[in-house]
């Protein structure tokens, strides 16, 4: 094989590898009544996806949350809380519609948004939370 043929072959392999999904999973935690407070009360930002199995918009946002978890790995903890299985926490934060996304730090909600708002809006929510403003309780 000539040098040019080798470069073309390598180039094709690289572009194929870029199209394959990454196998390294960025963990999105399953939050429950037993572990929610320990994460939310910490000094690291915690992004919480309030969702339910029967909710199509919640399912549509799942890959968005996973991409953001990869982007903010090591900077923000990502978790999902099933509102049907954990009604106590949903009630505590007045979750009336899902999906609802909230960012917590030191036990306080900093930012929140409701609905399948897309990746750009959630990224802005996280960025704003990194600035430190808090929602009134």
Q: What is the DSSP string of 17-33?
A: HHHSPP--PPP-EEE-T
74-100: string of b/e by CB count within 10 Å (b at 16+)? eebbbbbbbbeebeebbeebebeebbb
* Active-site annotation holder among 58, 110, 125, 126: 58
Token output for 39:
């994460």
Q: Is 116 a catalytic residue?
A: no
Q: Is 55 a catalytic residue?
A: yes
* Active-site annotation holder among 45, 46, 55, 95: 55
Give catalytic residue positions.
Answer: 55, 58
């Amino acid at each position: 094989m000539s040098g040019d043929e080798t470069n073309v072959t390598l180039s094709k392999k690289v572009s194929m590898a870029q199209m394959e999904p990454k196998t390294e999973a960025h963990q999105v935690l399953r939050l429950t009544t037993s572990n929610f407070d320990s994460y939310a009360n910490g000094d690291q930002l915690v992004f919480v996806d309030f969702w339910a199995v029967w909710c199509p918009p919640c399912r549509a946002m799942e890959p968005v949350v996973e991409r953001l978890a990869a982007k903010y790995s090591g900077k923000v903890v990502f978790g999902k809380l099933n509102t049907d299985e954990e009604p106590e926490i949903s009630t505590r934060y007045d979750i009336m519609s899902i999906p609802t996304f909230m960012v917590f730090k030191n036990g306080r909600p900093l930012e929140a948004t409701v609905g399948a708002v897309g990746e750009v809006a959630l990224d802005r929510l996280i960025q704003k939370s990194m600035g430190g403003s808090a929602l009134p309780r």
